[in-house]
């Protein structure tokens, strides 16, 4: 086979890079076409419309949570009212004040998400020295990783629907860069990133467990302080009443009624255990896994892998997860690559999570919509959780500056 001219060419680095670049250009162009098409569809800015509406309600002194949410169980699909903690509605006030409707606001929100994605990927390439470790990612090759991020279908879904997961990914990345520093400034960065994330959505709060389990106590204190500071700063805009209502809103949250692209472990288990039991079981198992990953075998865990594991767990413990939530996993995929997780497992997870709604498959669409993305998320989680420190222990993500004093 080596005598075949075409196959011999594949052995040349320049030819391989040319092929990869060509494939990246084709796939990204196709994703751009998909996104352009989605801007004309009803789902454009669908999730953002709830944030925009909640901010409008605050502007006009109206409640952000609905009577249905406060009265009893409700499904978080097409519901009246806001789903998140009150401060996030206050943070959306500038966007709501500047734009005439949610569909117009989505253009700004989508551009912001795309910018966060680019900054995150390029920042991680630099911080994890991926260009030095992988020749293909050196120099302008770093844009190949950016292309892979934009080619990830959950990212396109996130950009079109206007949820908060690219923002959360950026905050998680800020936290990781702070953890890498291993000093007081780094602890503040980590605490601010995770504290703000936990006030935007509830599930990032599990990262506090990771900070405590790894004895990063200064960062844990900074996380709580940042969350409280955001609550105090936004209190003049939200008032006290939404905070009195939010525990009921959270407690009344029920399972989704349309599971077309729902990949939550809790939803998979709900038919057998009941939604409430499944929800708490998944949460409990997630917390145990975060602690185990952080503390296993004394100090054997690679910090990047341990943090990436905690990020994946933080998403999977949410009671209702949709395909576009997986946009956050761009971060753990890159951290896994940097820390020595076998590329074949990362590639498999990436491909499996590239499903989404495929109505052309008819009655078997649920396999592509739900089974494959769920399997991909679990493959990523398993590959991270089971990877141990490489024998050479030379990866930039394997040993952090100041790691010897990070376990405070």
The full set of domain ranges for the chain reads: 39-406
The pLDDT assigned to 140 comes to 87
Greater confidence, 161 or 362?
161
User: What are the C-alpha distances in Å from 282 to residues 176, 264, 349, 365, 390?
Assistant: 25, 9, 21, 26, 30
The arithmetic mean of pLDDT across residues 307-323, rounded, is: 94
3-state secondary structure the chain: CCCCHHHHHCCCHHHHHHHHHHHHHHHHHHHHHHHHHHCCCCCCCHHHHHHHHHHHHHHCCCCCCCHHHHHCCECCCCCCCCCCCHHHHHHCHHHHHHCCCHHHHHHHHHHHHHHHHHHHHHHHHHHCCHHHHCHHHCHHHHHHHHHHHHCCHHHHHHHHHCCCHHHHHHHHHHHHHHHHHCCHHHHHHHHHHHHHHHHHCCHHHHHHHHHHHCCCHHHHHHHHHHHHHHHHHHHHHHCCHHHHHHHHHHHCECCCCCCCCECCHHHHHHHHHCHHHHHHHHHHHHHHHHHHHHHCCCCCCCHHHHHHHHHHHHHHCCCCCEHHHHHHHHHHHHHHHHCCCCHHHHHHHHHHCCCCCCHHHHHHHHHHHHHHHHHHHHHHHHHHHHCCCCCCCCCCCCCCCCHHHHCC
pLDDT at 75: 86
**pLDDT for residue 268 is more than 60:** yes
Instruction: Look at 257 and 97; give whichever has higher pLDDT.
Output: 97
What mean pLDDT do residues 191-200 have?
Answer: 96
Is residue 193 a contact partner of residue 172, using CB atoms and an 8 Å limit? yes
Better-scored residue on pLDDT, 22 or 327: 327
- Select the more confidently predicted residue: 42 or 112: 112
Q: What are phi and psi of 119, to 5 degrees?
A: -60, -40
pLDDT digits (tens, 9 = 90+) for 335-364: 999 998 999 999 999 999 998 767 666 777
Structure tokens at 49: 């419309």
Kindly give, in sequence order, each residue whose CB lies less than 8 Å from that of residue 143, ignoring residues fewer than 6 positions away: none
Cα(397)–Cα(126) distance, integer angstroms: 11
The answer to whether the pTM exceeds 0.75 is: yes
pLDDT of 402 higher than 50? no
- Please state, in angstroms and rounded to a whole number, the distance separating the CA atoms of residues 190 and 219: 6
Torsion angles phi and psi, residue 322, rounded to 5: -110, 165
Residue (of 148, 149, 193, 166) closest to 47 by Cα position: 166
Distance CA 112, CA 370 (A): 28
Q: Give the pLDDT mean for 156-178.
A: 96
Quote the CA–CA distance of 294 and 392 in Å, as a whole number.
20
The whole-number pLDDT of residue 51 equals: 95
Sign of CA dihedral 150, 155, 157, 159: negative
Give the residue with greater pLDDT, 349 vs 407.
349
Per-residue pLDDT of 17-33, as tens digits, reads: 777 788 888 989 999 99
Tell me, what's the pLDDT at 389? Answer: 60
pLDDT tens track for 67-82:
999 999 988 887 788 9
pLDDT confidence of residue 100 = 87
Q: Confidence band (pLDDT; 50, 70, 90) for 258? A: confident
Q: Percent of the chain, pLDDT > 70?
A: 89
Q: Give 407's pLDDT tier (boundaries 50, 70, 90).
A: very low
The yes-or-no verdict on residue 298 having pLDDT over 60 is no
pLDDT at residue 121 is higher than 90: yes
Residue with tokens 């949250």: 253
18: tokens are: 């040319």
Give me the mean pLDDT over the 7-19 stretch. Answer: 65
Query: Is the Cβ–Cβ distance between 95 and 105 less than 8 Å?
Result: yes
What CA–CA distance (Å, rounded) separates 343 from 229? 41
Answer yes or no: are the C-beta atoms of 142 and 131 closer than 8 Å: yes
Answer whether residue 224 shows pLDDT above 60.
yes
Radius of gyration, CA atoms only, the chain = 21
| pLDDT per position as a tens digit, 197-212 | 999 999 999 999 999 9
**Rounded distance between C-alpha atoms, residue 324 and residue 34, angstroms:** 14
């Amino acid at each position: 086979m080596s005598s075949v001219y075409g196959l011999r060419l594949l052995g040349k680095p320049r030819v391989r890079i040319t092929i990869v670049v060509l494939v990246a250009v084709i796939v990204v162009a196709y994703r751009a076409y998909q996104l352009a098409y989605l801007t004309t569809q009803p789902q454009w800015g669908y999730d953002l419309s709830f944030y925009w509406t909640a901010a409008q309600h605050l502007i006009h002194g109206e409640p952000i949570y609905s009577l249905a949410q406060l009265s009893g169980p409700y499904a978080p699909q097409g519901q009246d009212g806001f789903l998140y903690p009150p401060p996030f509605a206050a943070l959306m006030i500038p966007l709501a004040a500047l734009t005439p409707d949610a569909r117009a606001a989505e253009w700004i929100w989508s551009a912001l998400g795309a910018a966060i994605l680019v900054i995150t990927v390029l920042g991680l390439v630099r911080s994890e020295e991926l260009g030095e470790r992988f020749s293909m990612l050196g120099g302008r090759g770093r844009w190949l990783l950016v292309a892979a991020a934009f080619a990830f279908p959950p990212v396109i879904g996130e950009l079109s629907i206007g949820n908060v997961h690219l923002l959360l990914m950026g905050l998680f990345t800020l936290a990781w860069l702070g953890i890498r520093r291993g000093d007081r400034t780094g602890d503040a960065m980590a605490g601010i990133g995770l504290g703000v994330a936990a006030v935007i959505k509830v599930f990032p709060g599990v990262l506090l467990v990771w900070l405590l389990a790894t004895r990063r106590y200064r960062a844990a204190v900074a996380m709580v302080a940042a969350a409280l500071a955001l609550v105090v700063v936004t209190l003049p805009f939200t008032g006290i009443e939404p905070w009195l209502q939010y525990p009921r809103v959270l407690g009344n949250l029920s399972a989704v009624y349309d599971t077309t692209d729902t990949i939550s472990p809790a939803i998979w288990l709900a038919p057998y255990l009941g939604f409430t039991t499944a929800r708490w079981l998944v949460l409990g198992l997630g917390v145990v896994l975060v602690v185990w990953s952080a503390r296993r075998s004394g100090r054997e865990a690679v910090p990047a892998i341990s943090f990436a594991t905690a990020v994946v767990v933080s998403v999977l413990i949410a009671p209702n997860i949709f395909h576009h939530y997986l946009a956050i996993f761009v971060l753990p995929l890159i951290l896994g690559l940097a820390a020595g997780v076998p590329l074949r497992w990362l590639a498999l997870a990436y491909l499996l999570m590239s499903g989404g709604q495929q109505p052309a498959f008819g009655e078997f669409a649920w396999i592509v919509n739900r089974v494959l993305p769920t399997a991909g998320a679990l493959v990523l989680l398993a590959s991270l959780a089971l990877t141990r420190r490489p024998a050479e222990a030379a990866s930039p993500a394997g040993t952090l500056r100041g790691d010897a004093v990070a376990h405070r």
